[in-house]
Amino acid sequence: MWGSELRGAGGEGRADWFLYLLRCADGSLYTGVTTDLERRLGEHNRGRGSRYTARRRPVWLIGAWRYPDRASAQRAEARLRRLPRREKERMAVDGQPFEGVPFRGPAPHRFCPHCGSSLQTLLRPGDAHPRQVCTGCGRVHYRNAKPCAGVLAARDGRLLLVRRGIEPFRGYWDIPGGFLEEGEHPEAGAVREMREETGLEVRLTGVFGIYMDRYVYQEEQGVTLNIYFLAEVVGGKEQAGDDAAQLGWFGPEELPTRVAFDHARLVLEDWARWMGGRGG
């Protein structure tokens, strides 16, 4: 799903190396180096990648950086391992370069939507970001973030979360929210998602924060822009929706560890600190 450009075909017959970052089923992070990300990810998910990941499957590839040789990749891995967990997660969520090496992520489109020719990822002169360029008509395929909205609704200092009943991350806890409909205002989308997933009506009281992430599931993949609102429950009947398996209320010290999506983990950490700062 990460595309052939993430196999390390270097020049003059040599193979480039990738430093990669995995998220394990228990929420922990794992780093490694390889010349073929797709093959290595498959090995980890078959229990043949390492003893650590074999006990924590499935794993997801959340970030990668490309280096010219194995030694460079291994030196970078040693430095990446020393970073705090939160900083690693932030690098993956924001797609940050590491020590001057650009972040590598999934390419959601392989063919030009205008002429059908293949797309090639290039860093054009004068451009700060790699772009997908059609090899036929030369059009640039710009990749924009998909807007999402979510709700942080607390009662007696406890936050309402939903256990996902569908993939991706089936069985993991998540914040009520989702993709916006075309033309839908983020506030309206947040209220709608809350109603659909929990059965509750809410009144939004303010914007909590905006978080970036990378959504990857089967053939659907891309960057998401996630807007989170604070809210209070004003009505409705608490009941898990069709996409949710369970609802639960959690205090700042009770938040689950199996959380869907990397940015949601950051949101919950920020919410817990915010609650602590205001005395619960």
- For residue 96, the model assigns a pLDDT of 84
The predicted-structure confidence for 39-75, as pLDDT tens digits, reads as follows: 998 899 999 999 999 999 888 888 899 999 999 999 9
* Per-position DSSP letters for 110-137, written without gaps between them: -B-TTT-PBEEEE--TT-SS-EEEETTT
Lowest mean pLDDT, pick from 76-85, 95-104, 212-221: 212-221
The answer to whether the beta carbons of residues 157 and 143 sit under 8 Å apart is: no
Do the domains 4-107 and 146-277 sit in the same CATH topology, yes or no? Answer: no
Give 7-10 contacts, CB < 8 A, sequence gap 24+.
7/35, 7/36, 7/37, 7/38, 8/34, 8/35, 8/36, 8/66, 10/68
CATH 3.90.79.10 for domain 146-277: yes
Which tokens is 74 given? Answer: 């291994």
Mean pLDDT of 132-142: 88
- For residue 106, the model assigns a pLDDT of 59
Cα gap 216→141, rounded to integer Å: 19
The predicted-structure confidence for 144-190, as pLDDT tens digits, reads as follows: 899 999 999 999 999 999 999 988 888 999 999 999 999 999 999 99
The share of the chain scoring above pLDDT 90, in percent, equals: 56
Domains of the chain: which residue ranges?
4-107, 109-142, 146-277
The predicted-structure confidence for 183-238, as pLDDT tens digits, reads as follows: 999 999 999 999 999 999 999 999 999 999 988 766 566 889 999 999 999 999 99
* Paired residues of 151 in beta bridges: 229
Cα gap 167→165, rounded to integer Å: 7
Cα gap 79→96, rounded to integer Å: 15
Whether 109 has a pLDDT exceeding 50, the answer reads: yes
119-122, strands of its sheet edge to edge: 119-122, 131-134, 140-141
Q: Domain 109-142 carries which CATH code? A: 2.20.70.10
Read off the pLDDT band of 107 (50, 70, 90).
low
- For residue 174, the model assigns a pLDDT of 97
Query: Could you tell me the pTM of the whole model?
Result: 0.69
Q: Domain 4-107 carries which CATH code? A: 3.40.1440
Whether 277 has a pLDDT exceeding 90, the answer reads: no
Mean pLDDT of 86-97: 83
Read off the pLDDT band of 1 (50, 70, 90).
very low
Q: Of 61, 58, 13, which is closest to residue 34 (Cα–Cα)?
A: 61
